[in-house]
Amino acid sequence: MNVYLLNLCGESKPAPEMWINYRMKQLRGVIICGGESRRMGTDKGLIRIGDSCWAAYMADKLNVFGLPVLVSINKTQQLTYLNFFSGDQLIVDSMDIGGPLNGLLSVHTLYPDEDLLLLACDMINMQKSTIERLINTYNDDAGHDFYAYRQDAFAEPLCAIYTGRGLKKLIREQGTLSLQKWSLQKVLMPAITKNLTITEPGSFENHNNL
């Protein structure tokens, strides 16, 4: 038997356990791999770590939560990434937009009704508890367009959840031409974003030197 509760607006939603299951079915992980790092002179996502590479290592951090995971790449990376991922996991940048926003919106165009948990391929110190808190907040506090950790005035856009609803609204209000000048940081600033306080700063260290 399905059990439903009324929210403050009089709308029904599933009871807590069912609601969490429903939300999790909407959530998909995306590992952002932007190609060669100018500082490191190599593709960060392909840097070896044990028997794996950074991109696959980060994907495993999301797999433990039962999330299907996609990998955002540019067209020059496709052949090498097939050594670590299946072809249907690889999403090639398709927008005329720079930076990781290209990857996010390229995935969104293919999965417009799904919510996307973005994770950078170089955040190899990311703690499970940091991701878990983000997911729990997303499950427990619906109604926001985006969910992101924030330090002072700056969000952490590469460990954040972007809802399909929020991205549709962004594209509708701004248009893809205007978004060519946007960054993920700007996406998170004016929107209905649920901000989380950083309690594990080590999770957000990115690696620009080997």
Question: Over 50: is that where the pLDDT of 5 sits?
Answer: no
Dihedrals φ, ψ of 26, to 5°?
A: -85, -10
Q: 121 near 31, Cβ under 8 Å?
A: yes
- Cα 70 to Cα 116: distance, rounded to the nearest angstrom: 10
- Structural domains of the chain, ranges and CATH numbers in brackets: 15-203 (3.90.550.10)
pTM of the model: 0.88
By percentage, how much of the chain surpasses pLDDT 70?
A: 86
pLDDT in tens, 22-73: 788 999 999 999 755 555 568 999 999 999 999 999 999 999 999 999 999 9
The token pair at 116 is 């996307």
Please report the pLDDT score of residue 9 as a whole number: 47
- Cα 176 to Cα 178: distance, rounded to the nearest angstrom: 5
Give residue 15's pLDDT band: very low, low, confident or very high (50, 70, 90): low
- Cα 147 to Cα 76: distance, rounded to the nearest angstrom: 31
Please report the pLDDT score of residue 39 as a whole number: 57
pLDDT in tens, 82-105: 999 999 999 999 998 989 999 999
Please report the pLDDT score of residue 106 as a whole number: 96
- Cα 156 to Cα 159: distance, rounded to the nearest angstrom: 6
Give the three-class secondary structure for 173. helix
**Range name among 7-16, 63-72, 156-165, 173-182 with the lowest pLDDT average:** 7-16
